[in-house]
Every structure is written in C-alpha cells, then in structure tokens.
C-alpha cells in the first residue's frame, strides 16, 4: 500500500576549506511532503520532488523546487520548500545561492522552528565562498557577522558549539592575513606601517586564544632588527626563550638575531 505521506531527510555535507574541519553537518530538519494534498498536478509535482530526493538527483530537485515555488506561492508549506531548496543548493556546492536562500528564510520566518538551522547554514554557506583571505576577506568577515548574530540569540543552542568553532576559524584566518600584511611591510622596508600593523594585531585579536603571542613577539624581534634596535631585539628574544622555550618562533627569532639573511624568511 502506497504511503500518502513520505518523510525525507536531506543530509548536507559541510565543506570547510583550507584547513577548516571537514565533517557531515547535522541532518537537516525533517519535513513532510504530503503527496495527496492539493490539486492533482500539485500532488504529482510533490511526488516527483520526493522521488528525486530519494535517489540524490539534486539538480533535478532544484528545478522541481523552483517550479513548485513559482507555481504554488500561496502554499502553506512554502517555507519548507524554500528551506529544502537552500539545502539542495548547499549540497550542489552552489554556496552563493545557498547563502541567499538560507538568509532569506531566516529573515522572512524568524519565528520558525527552523530559523536557527537556517542561520547556522547561512554562516557555513558564506564561509564556503572564501578562498584566499589575503586577496578578499569579505566572505570571512561576513561569516563572523553571521556567527555573532547567532551567538547573540540566547535561545539558539543546537549549533552553538559548531558556530563557535567556525568563528574561531574565521578569526584565525584574519589574524594570519594581518601577519602577512606586516611581513609585506617589513619586506618593503615600510617599518612605520609594519609597527602600526603589529600594534593593530595586539589590540584587536585575542592572541592567547589563537596561540599567537609567540608569533607576535617574533615579528616584533624582526622589526627591531630592521630598525637596528639591538637592545630591543635581544630583549624580545630573551622573552621568547623564557616564555616559549619550545616554540618554533623562538628558534626563528634567535636566527634573526644572528643571521641577517633570515629577516624575511617567515
């Protein structure tokens, strides 16, 4: 006997590039497609959507969902179909479209039981669009905004740990970008700019959380070397040996203090 109601769950893969954690995301909220409600044409379209989902034909599902949403804009279940479309975009790695669709769902249906999920996935879809942060940090910065929006909502708890991890990853990428900028300034002998950038790093980032204190000291030692401030450089190297004796940055700073050819190596 054919079941009139087919329950589906679409498992979404989480792609976090360039060193970020790769895992399967939590299974998307389970929705029901009632294949016996609505007109005959509507029932047929819903059945086709369900069948395509079951075999993982997401390109076809995407086309069917677009048709359903445009044909039946007054359907009470339309929000569920919109969220399903966002999940399909994400599964197809069409992250820009996925982000727009998740974000729209969260804005249009803030009281929905799936609003938290939509914001969580919007953050990941935005992050998945990031490539070389040194060239364009905008996707990472937007992801940070989305993570902070999520964390500001005390009632959002289901994906809080994952959002905190994503936020940490984004902040680490921005920190790495700032160090690259400081390195470039020093390579160009723009020492005042390098000093300002290192101060910005110190003032802006939680270096303890990102294990960046020794790296900052190393860059300050390099800068002192270029400024011919031997006393300051030696003081920083001594501080590194005292606080971080096993750090690779301590060893690198020691080489900077004794070998001028290593100044721009890291």
Handedness of CA 14, 8, 50, 159 (dihedral sign): negative
188 CB-side CA count, 13 A: 11
- Quickly tell me which residue has 């390109």 as its tokens: 59
User: Distance between CA atoms of 215 and 201, rounded to whole angstroms?
Assistant: 11
Q: Per residue in 83-102, is it b (16+ CB within 10 Å) or e — as a string?
A: bbbbbbbbbeebbebbbbbb
Closest CA to 176 of 141, 215, 231: 215
Burial (CB count <10 Å: 0-12, 13-18, 19+), residue 234: middle
Q: Phi and psi dihedrals of 12, rounded to 5?
A: -105, 130
What is the token pair recorded at 250?
Answer: 């301590």
pLDDT of residue 1: 40
Cβ proximity of 250 and 241 under 8 Å:
yes
User: Distance between CA atoms of 163 and 117, rounded to whole angstroms?
Assistant: 11
Cα 187 to the chain's mean position, in Å? 30
pLDDT tens readout for residues 124-142: 999 999 876 666 889 999 9
What is the token pair recorded at 125?
Answer: 């879809």
pLDDT in tens, the chain (266 residues): 434 333 333 433 333 333 344 333 332 334 677 778 888 989 899 999 988 888 888 999 999 999 999 999 999 889 999 999 999 999 999 999 999 999 999 999 999 999 999 999 999 999 999 876 666 889 999 999 999 999 999 999 999 999 999 999 999 999 999 999 999 999 999 999 999 999 999 999 999 999 999 999 999 999 999 999 999 999 999 999 999 999 999 999 999 998 754 444 55
Q: Is the pTM of this model over 0.75?
A: yes
| Degrees to nearest 5, angle at CA 45 with 41 and 47 | 115
What is the token pair recorded at 207?
Answer: 């270096």
pLDDT of residue 168: 96
What is the token pair recorded at 144?
Answer: 């940070």
pLDDT of residue 17: 37
pLDDT of residue 13: 36
Closest CA to 266 of 188, 179, 199, 204: 179
23 CB-side CA count, 13 A: 8
Q: Phi and psi dihedrals of 111, rounded to 5?
A: -95, 0
């Amino acid at each position: 006997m054919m079941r009139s109601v087919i329950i589906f769950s679409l498992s979404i893969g989480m792609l976090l590039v360039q060193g970020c954690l790769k895992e399967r995301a939590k299974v998307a909220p389970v929705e029901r497609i009632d294949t016996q409600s609505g007109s005959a044409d509507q029932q047929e379209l819903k059945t086709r959507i369900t069948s395509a989902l079951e075999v993982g034909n997401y390109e076809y599902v995407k086309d069917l969902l677009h048709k359903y949403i445009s044909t039946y804009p007054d359907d009470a279940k339309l929000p569920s179909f919109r969220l399903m479309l966002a999940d399909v975009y994400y599964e197809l790695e069409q992250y820009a479209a996925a982000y727009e669709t998740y974000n729209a769902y969260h804005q249009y249906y803030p009281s929905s039981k799936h609003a938290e999920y939509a914001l969580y996935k919007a953050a990941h879809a935005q992050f998945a669009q990031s490539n070389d942060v040194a060239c364009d940090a905008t996707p990472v910065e937007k992801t940070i905004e989305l993570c902070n929006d999520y964390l500001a909502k005390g009632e959002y708890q289901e994906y809080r740990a994952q959002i905190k991890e994503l936020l940490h990853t984004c902040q680490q990428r921005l920190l790495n970008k700032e160090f690259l900028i400081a390195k470039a300034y020093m390579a160009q002998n723009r020492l005042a700019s390098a000093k300002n950038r290192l101060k910005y790093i110190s003032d802006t980032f939680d270096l303890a959380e990102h294990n960046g204190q020794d790296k900052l000291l190393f860059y300050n030692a390099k800068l002192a070397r270029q400024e011919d401030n031997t006393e300051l450089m030696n003081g920083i190297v001594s501080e590194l040996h005292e606080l971080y004796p096993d750090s690779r940055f301590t060893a690198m700073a020691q080489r900077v203090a004794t070998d001028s050819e290593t100044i721009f190596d890291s």
